[in-house]
């Protein structure tokens, strides 16, 4: 797992983009995660020296490969036995590679509102075909075995961070 750099300019850019975008069709968080998703894209793009492409099926291209960034918000640093996911509503996307990013916040209240972005973590990558061969399906409401108090918000395909690749 690798820490990704971010700055105030990126935060401002992600905030503006998220506000302009509003609600997203098929969004797990009904648009509340727009900022997080954009921050994940911006941080990975900066790390790889790329621009965000903003396509329906992928976020950027690296060495001819289409990368889709999937970002989770957390109040703790992700651990190897934590999961990353692709929601069933995103099955239509056709990237070559998934990049999984986690934003770590200082606080999360009972209403799932996150405040105080502290770190951005690149959890790893997975070839899209390998992801679909190796992932596990969790139906909506499925309790996470590592954190049973958390239940999946929608049908999703999950993989443990320890099974991701560190490099593209």
Terminal C-alpha separation, the chain: 13
Mean pLDDT of 141-148: 91
Q: Which domain holds residue 156?
A: 2-163
- pLDDT at residue number 22: 57
pLDDT single digits (tens) 116-131: 999 999 999 999 999 9
Q: How many domains does the structure of the chain reveal?
A: 1
In a domain, 140, yes or no: yes
Single out the residue of 80, 66, 79, 67 nearest to residue 40, CA to CA: 67
Taken in order 112, 114, 119, 125, the sign of the CA dihedral is: positive
pLDDT single digits (tens) 13-59: 999 988 777 554 444 444 467 899 999 999 999 999 999 998 989 99
- pLDDT at residue number 132: 98
In a domain, 82, yes or no: yes
In a domain, 44, yes or no: yes
**Rounded CA separation 69/74 (Å):** 16
In a domain, 139, yes or no: yes
In a domain, 168, yes or no: no
- pLDDT at residue number 32: 60
């Amino acid at each position: 797992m690798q820490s990704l750099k971010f700055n105030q300019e990126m935060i401002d850019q992600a905030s503006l983009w998220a506000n302009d975008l509003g609600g997203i069709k098929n969004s797990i968080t009904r648009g509340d995660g727009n900022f997080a998703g954009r921050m994940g894209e911006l941080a990975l793009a900066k790390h790889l020296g790329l621009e965000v492409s903003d396509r329906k099926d992928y976020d950027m291209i690296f060495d001819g490969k289409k990368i889709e960034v999937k970002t989770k918000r957390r109040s703790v640093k992700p651990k190897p036995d934590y999961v990353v996911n692709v929601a069933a509503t995103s099955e239509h996307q056709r990237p070559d590679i998934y990049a999984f990013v986690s934003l770590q916040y200082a606080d999360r209240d009972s209403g799932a509102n996150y405040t105080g972005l502290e770190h951005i973590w690149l959890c790893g990558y997975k070839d899209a075909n390998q992801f679909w061969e190796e992932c596990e399906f969790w139906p909506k409401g499925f309790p996470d075995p590592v954190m049973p108090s958390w239940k999946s918000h929608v049908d999703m395909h999950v993989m443990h961070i320890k099974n991701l690749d560190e490099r593209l």
